[in-house]
Amino acid sequence: MKVVAVFIVALQLAIGVEVDVKTTISGFVVTLDGITIMEQSEMSPMLAVGAGNRDVMEFRGNFHIKDEVVSRIPLRRSSVTKIDDTWQIVLQESGSSNEYQTIIELENDASSLFVTVTVQAQHPINRMWVRFKAEPSERVYGGGEQFSYLNLRGRAYPIWTREQGVGRNESTITTFFAHQREGAGGAYHTTYFPQPSFVSSRHYFCHLLESAPSAFDFSHEDYHEVEILKTEVGFKLASGSSIQETVEKLTGLLGRQPELPDWIYSGAILGVQGGTDKMISHLTDAQEAGVKVSGLWIQDWVGKKVTSFGSRLYWNWVWDEKWYPNLKTVMRDLKEKDIRVFAYINPHIINTGSLFNDADKKGYFIKNQEGTTYLQDFGEYFCGTVDFTNPEAYNWYKGVIKTNMIDLGFGGWMADFSEYTPVDGVFHSGIPGEEAHNLYPVLWAQCNREAVEEAGQLGEILYWMRSGFSGTGKHAVVMWAGDQNVDFSYSDGLPSAITGALSMGMSGMGLTHFDVGGYTTFPPMVRTPELFLRSAEAAIFTPVLRTHEGNMPQANWQFYSSPGTMCRFARLTQLFTTLRPYMKEAVRQNAESGTPVQRPLFFNYENDPVTLDIQYQYMLGDDLLVAPVHQPQQTSWSLYLPDDDWVFVWDGKNYKGLSDVTVDAPIGKPPAFYRKGSKWTPLFEKLSGIMASCGDETIPPHIPLDQKIVQLVMSQVAPSSSQNQEVKDEL
Amino acid sequence: MKVVAVFIVALQLAIGVEVDVKTTISGFVVTLDGITIMEQSEMSPMLAVGAGNRDVMEFRGNFHIKDEVVSRIPLRRSSVTKIDDTWQIVLQESGSSNEYQTIIELENDASSLFVTVTVQAQHPINRMWVRFKAEPSERVYGGGEQFSYLNLRGRAYPIWTREQGVGRNESTITTFFAHQREGAGGAYHTTYFPQPSFVSSRHYFCHLLESAPSAFDFSHEDYHEVEILKTEVGFKLASGSSIQETVEKLTGLLGRQPELPDWIYSGAILGVQGGTDKMISHLTDAQEAGVKVSGLWIQDWVGKKVTSFGSRLYWNWVWDEKWYPNLKTVMRDLKEKDIRVFAYINPHIINTGSLFNDADKKGYFIKNQEGTTYLQDFGEYFCGTVDFTNPEAYNWYKGVIKTNMIDLGFGGWMADFSEYTPVDGVFHSGIPGEEAHNLYPVLWAQCNREAVEEAGQLGEILYWMRSGFSGTGKHAVVMWAGDQNVDFSYSDGLPSAITGALSMGMSGMGLTHFDVGGYTTFPPMVRTPELFLRSAEAAIFTPVLRTHEGNMPQANWQFYSSPGTMCRFARLTQLFTTLRPYMKEAVRQNAESGTPVQRPLFFNYENDPVTLDIQYQYMLGDDLLVAPVHQPQQTSWSLYLPDDDWVFVWDGKNYKGLSDVTVDAPIGKPPAFYRKGSKWTPLFEKLSGIMASCGDETIPPHIPLDQKIVQLVMSQVAPSSSQNQEVKDEL
């Protein structure tokens, strides 16, 4: 068989983007606004093509992917021509071979450089590797929501939406046990919201336009390598005068989030459950204790189903009138008091519920290879998953959202899941499962967005999502960080929520928040009073303050677990509401220019290179530097102040920047500094005056929990260290 | 740069080997004695060449290797010609490219087919991938000493000698903790003795003639793929009428082991320590208890050095006359009673000892990149490693063995280590470190062998080794299985020693044994009385019965730990000595034809396909089927009997084969059957008559050990499950 392979890399010249291609002895150099972005030579080719076999195994949102490369052919020879505004670079193999070509074309685009690579080959080729020039000291940020590292250099990041994993760090015992149970451990790169884009400290962004599986490898000194499992791909690149401006350009391309509803700043959304009376009694207790409340989130509005793991939400998205009697009336009354009630939904529908039959008959679910509804296993129950590539199904589900949630009077909902899309699923639009997988969260966001918009409620109703991909930034209105562990671990606990927010901001999603206290109880960890309060402290410096009872409410500490906790939490909600005008300003900046609400220090202090590597501090808006205490048993906290004059929020003391400082950090006083001379000084000064008299109850780091509950939790631990439990086969 | 790449695969036709090459539409098929061994087509090429970057990190014999492929070019086009006795097959890329070629030549060889592949390229090419034809149901055995799997299908095996690792199974908590401590966990393929060869159930062997890093991937249905980090390689292949005959041909190529000294069958070698008096008192106690003793092994003959881990052997290979006073005289006296004393040595020399200075001055050690002696870190002390590629150094060390051990009167020694050879070491012969690494154990074996031969003591002196590679089979006289854990785990405990012996037999090394009771105490495991006795039971069905006190003698159960244990062990030694004539016959078969002493059932019962997958039972010689109890707390044991008539050793009951059977298996009666009608029936019948009256002491599975010692062991455990100990970076 004769083989002809043609590679086309089209660089479309944007207005205002300066692209230049210079030939060298054995290759060429491409610059974008003077920044070298590609470099080719015979010894160091920038493109390779090849084939591989990919085997994807999925269990409850945890994907185990085996990938084997069978051919990888670097293209060593190049020739450059220019036709009108179009650069064409032809890449080929070396020697006498002319099987593979690359043509680079430059055309006008609104604000970016457009690169396309097309492979035409009779050979079994199914992927390519494209290298961008790197500098040793360069930092790279973004990649969607990355929980472990803000600077991505030194590691590779597969772009594949999935459960973030439990523990997310193979050197920890938590991840070890989680891997043993359902392969659920995760790693540094596992995330709900990957995005094939990065922002370089060299002031350019690079965004891959494909949803096919890809991986960004930043582990090399002199190049970044992007692997894409597709033979025709496009990139967009643009540069800015600073990192901030580069992010502005990226969000210009990807879309920005609108401003948040005004009511969000008036207090916490309390995650509660258990029926109408219980919901109201939680509200009354909280308000009596001084908690500022903006809403009540009842994820169990659909009722519960009993399984061997305990009771779980019943995934039939219809109000359970027995479980929540009078809910409609109660919601109307509460709204008059400016308290909203929030629901829960995801794109999966349980096969024993009323919604399922309707959708199944109409063929609205993703299908299996046999052409019938693909039933996904969620642990003792099975669901159909709405096929959003089918316009009828999409509209039908939008209708479910409108009728069953908006019309009922909810103020919003958690729009959960969407990472489980099976690669062997068959989709209405004909898109392959491997490409549909990453795209699905975007369609899910869009469906929610349109339901809200069509109901005329954008800016009033709030839905929060965890999963995403390129395009989520345009359709989602706010994210949350998913299921952190109820611990202080760097890779999956409180610190990881901070890193997640900052990397999200570097990916064009500037509004996010997290479950106060974390979500996942993985034995033997349980949420302590200390973790709850440290987490709440950090959460007041995010745009949305929301609690969650977690996956094991009784085993974990809650805002209502003791009067002392409630009282302290109340004060924190008062701090949050005091920040209202300042927070609104930061949210407005995000809507206008894509400058995220929580921003890495280098947004404001890029000239201070220390800031390039700081991932657990951030600027909230332009004037407030926050360094949440994210480790247990701390009474003081060390942090870095960049080059400016600073005032410590809690005692008004002045600090000079360009130095490490250590401050007192008792529970309730999260380290925060404002810029001296800020126009917001009067507001910041108010914060230290907000006191609470919480009685004699001290909050020790760990309060002993009910031993029976601890035993219950412990009984779920995976294999002990007993040699007899050794398994015969490797994982 | 213009590039020319030439690949030469020379298939040398052996006398008695029938090789045929038939062209097909887009390729060819190579058969060896009618067996298809290679298959080429444009869509499925049998050869790829390419380049990669390899990064080797080593810490105390545990290697962590990062390998990245940057090019992999399958050669799709082929043409076949025959010149005289020589087949030439030219392989090239497809299309118009002619950069790469393969020439297959067939020439006469004594007993095998010789394949060479040569790459000549101006491109940075440093490896190749060669595929051999596979059938889905084919089994593959060998690969050196493989501890986890006898049939290698379904997995890939790097060929790289190293510490076998602790736990050797990433799904176990032991391996998890061992990885945390010094990266020492290991995996299913980590071994002291890898060998780049395999024996197929399709009745041929394939042996790679290179010591450069390679990997054998048996995970594909229709091909085996061998990756070799070299651009010029050779293979040898031959077929047999059965697996047994195929192994005979493989050992014909690799070399076989001589028969063992006669004294080895007269009892156990007792591993003891602590000075002359203690050694003698152990002997006296043992003999008084009825233990048959062939020798005493004193690894501490060189004295000890105190480190923070406790006392360790002093690696200066000179008799410590203070620690072992009168040793020379005592040894002479003991030998008159047919008791030998054994020493310990390895190729590393401590830099504070007398031998070091001499060798260092003469430049006898492996050098570092700076040209001075490469000092290897063994944990609080440093050693030079003898450069056996330097003939002077080789002879000098042979002299050390002769003078310091043979002349002193030792009956043999453990010739330990040789897996730590650094890849960045500089060798006298100029061989690159990556190629020297696997070769080093062979040179170490050869040095021991020549010392013994030149002293005229082959067949009298015994040295036992753990590490090896192709050629070890020719130079070593007996192996031992290295450092099993003191547990029953499949991947690193007692069962793994059985698998190790059988895979070794499939690799041409038919004589091996193991430390009775295992060696490595990895907290919280300690050797129990049950493990000691079950392990000893299994060891009597190997050619050498030897105890080891382990790495933490006081924390572990020993043959001398209780009168009941000593008494039971004594009976086992009597069973061992009773087997003497039968064992000698099996050892003779190994020396003559390479049929290993412990042989997989399919050596005798290949027509019964069930035997192809049995890895914890074996034939000892031709007539005895052994199925050691290798799990704890068993009172009965289930096993498979192949197609024959069998007699249970302990009660004389008759069994029909082709079935699973369950037999009583109390401690002391390891399941063993002899073939009905065997000429050895009178000998086998004696076994059940060997009784011992061991008093009232029962041997429970676990006897509580001294709690202080248990605490000491436990204190060495790696990170607890506390969330606070979570580490920030992944391993």
Are β-strands B304-307 and A35-40 bridged in parallel, bridged antiparallel, or unpaired?
A: unpaired
Domain limits, CATH 3.20.20.80, in chain A: 263-476
Residues 6+ apart with CB under 8 A from A704: none
Residues 6+ apart with CB under 8 A from B610: B640, B642
Cβ contacts (< 8 Å) between B66 and chain A: which residues?
A: none
Return residues 92-111 of B near A (CB < 8 Å): 93-99
Average pLDDT over residues A374-402: 96
Strand (E) or helix (H) holding B277: helix B276-288
What does the radius of gyration of chain B's CA atoms come to, in whole angstroms? 26
Q: Which CATH class is domain A263-476?
A: alpha beta
Query: Could you tell me which chain A residue has the CA closest to the CA of B179?
Result: A171
Dump strand ranges (E) for A60-209.
Answer: 62-74, 77-83, 86-92, 102-103, 113-120, 127-133, 140-144, 156-159, 194-200, 204-208
Cβ contacts (< 8 Å) between B188 and chain A: which residues?
A: 730
Q: How confident is the model at residue A97 (pLDDT cuts 50, 70, 90)?
A: low
Whether B71 and A72 lie within 8 Å, measured CB to CB:
yes
Judge whether A138 and A153 are in contact, CB under 8 Å: yes
Cβ contacts (< 8 Å) between B123 and chain A: which residues?
A: 94
Map B671-719 to HEC letters: CEEEECCCCCHHHHHHHCCCCCCCCCCCCCCCCCCCHHHHHHHHCCCCC
- Known catalytic residue: B360? no
Average pLDDT over residues B441-462: 98
Cβ contacts (< 8 Å) between A128 and chain B: which residues?
A: none
How is residue A545 annotated by DSSP?
-
Cβ contacts (< 8 Å) between A48 and chain B: which residues?
A: 70-71
Residue of B33, B248, B483, B530 marked catalytic: B483
Q: What percent of chain A shows pLDDT beyond 70?
A: 90
Query: Could you tell me which chain B residue has the CA closest to the CA of A523?
Result: B721
Domain limits, CATH 2.60.40.1760, in chain B: 6-254
> DSSP letters of A81-106?
EEETTEEEEEEE-STT--S--EE---
Whether residue A167 has pLDDT greater than 70 = yes
Q: How confident is the model at residue A98 (pLDDT cuts 50, 70, 90)?
A: low
| pLDDT value for B84 | 75
What are B640-688's pLDDT values in tens digits?
A: 999 999 999 999 999 999 999 999 999 999 999 999 999 999 999 999 9
Q: How confident is the model at residue B523 (pLDDT cuts 50, 70, 90)?
A: confident
| pLDDT value for B704 | 52
Amino acid at B555: A
Whether residue B7 has pLDDT greater than 80 = no
Residue of A483, A549, A608, A644 marked catalytic: A483
Query: Could you tell me which chain B residue has the CA closest to the CA of A123?
Result: B43
Query: Could you tell me which chain B residue has the CA closest to the CA of A487?
Result: B723
- Known catalytic residue: A259? no
Judge whether A640 and A617 are in contact, CB under 8 Å: yes
Report d(CA A624, CA B168) in Å as an integer.
51
Report d(CA A356, CA A364) in Å as an integer.
9
Report d(CA A657, CA A449) in Å as an integer.
43
Average pLDDT over residues B391-405: 98
Whether B71 and A70 lie within 8 Å, measured CB to CB:
no
Q: Which CATH class is domain B6-254?
A: mainly beta
Average pLDDT over residues A61-69: 94
| pLDDT value for B10 | 45
Cβ contacts (< 8 Å) between B525 and chain A: which residues?
A: 723
Q: How confident is the model at residue A704 (pLDDT cuts 50, 70, 90)?
A: low
For residue A158, how many C-alpha atoms fall within 13 Å in the half-sphere facing its CB?
19
Whether residue B151 has pLDDT greater than 60 = yes
| pLDDT value for A111 | 72
Q: Which of B73, B491, B524 sits opposite A71 (nearest CB)?
A: B73
Phi, psi angle pair for A200, to nearest 5° = -95, 145
Q: Does A111 or B164 have the greater pLDDT score?
A: B164
Q: Does B668 or A526 have the greater pLDDT score?
A: B668
pTM of the model: 0.92
- Does residue B172 belong to the interface with chain A, where contact is any CB pair within 8 Å? yes
Whether residue A183 has pLDDT greater than 60 = yes
Whether residue A591 has pLDDT greater than 70 = yes
Report d(CA A69, CA A52) in Å as an integer.
4
What ipTM score was computed for the predicted complex, to two decimals? 0.89
| pLDDT value for B124 | 82
Residue of A33, A99, A210, A419 marked catalytic: A419
Whether the upstream peptide bond of residue B124 has omega within 30° of 0, thus cis, is no
Whether residue B710 has pLDDT greater than 60 = no
Whether residue B75 has pLDDT greater than 50 = yes
Judge whether A621 and A597 are in contact, CB under 8 Å: yes
The b/e string for B620-644 (b: 16+ C-beta within 10 A; e otherwise) is bbbbbbbbbbbbbebeebebbbbeb
Residues 6+ apart with CB under 8 A from A410: A301, A331, A340, A341, A342, A343, A461
Q: Which CATH class is domain B602-687?
A: mainly beta
Return residues 522-581 of B near A (CB < 8 Å): 524-525
Q: Which of B173, B719, B728 sits opposite A719 (nearest CB)?
A: B173
- Does residue B486 belong to the interface with chain A, where contact is any CB pair within 8 Å? no
What are A222-232's pLDDT values in tens digits?
A: 999 999 999 88
Tokens of A305: 């189903």
- Known catalytic residue: A416? yes
Report d(CA A33, CA A408) in Å as an integer.
53
* Smallest Cα distance from A462 to chain B, Å: 34
What are B98-109's pLDDT values in tens digits?
A: 555 555 444 446
Tokens of B143: 């690969």
- Does residue B41 belong to the interface with chain A, where contact is any CB pair within 8 Å? no
Whether A1 and B727 lie within 8 Å, measured CB to CB:
no
Whether B171 and A180 lie within 8 Å, measured CB to CB:
yes
Question: Mean pLDDT, chain B, as a whole number?
Answer: 91
Among A466-470, A726-730, B85-89, B548-552, the minimum mean pLDDT is found in A726-730
Domain limits, CATH 2.60.40.1180, in chain B: 602-687
* CA-CA-CA-CA torsion sign (A685, A689, A690, A696): positive
Tokens of A638: 């060390």
Among A102-111, A484-493, A581-590, B605-614, the minimum mean pLDDT is found in A102-111
Average pLDDT over residues B560-589: 97
Cβ contacts (< 8 Å) between A72 and chain B: which residues?
A: 50, 69-73
Cβ contacts (< 8 Å) between A728 and chain B: which residues?
A: 490-491
Instruction: Choose, out of A726, A727, A731, the residue to mutate when testing the contact with B (most B CBs < 10 Å).
Output: A726
What are B584-596's pLDDT values in tens digits?
A: 999 999 999 999 9
CB atoms within 10 A of CB A41: 15
What does the radius of gyration of chain A's CA atoms come to, in whole angstroms? 26
Q: Which of B188, B487, B726 sits opposite A490 (nearest CB)?
A: B726
How is residue B25 annotated by DSSP?
S
Helix (H, G, I), strand (E, B) or coil at B529: helix
Judge whether A613 and A605 are in contact, CB under 8 Å: no
Closest CA to A169 of B577, B455, B167, B728: B728
Report d(CA B268, CA B576) in Å as an integer.
8
| pLDDT value for A695 | 76
- Does residue A716 belong to the interface with chain B, where contact is any CB pair within 8 Å? no
Among B153-157, B477-481, B722-726, the minimum mean pLDDT is found in B722-726
Q: Which of A50, A148, A173 sits opposite B72 (nearest CB)?
A: A50
Whether residue B245 has pLDDT greater than 80 = yes
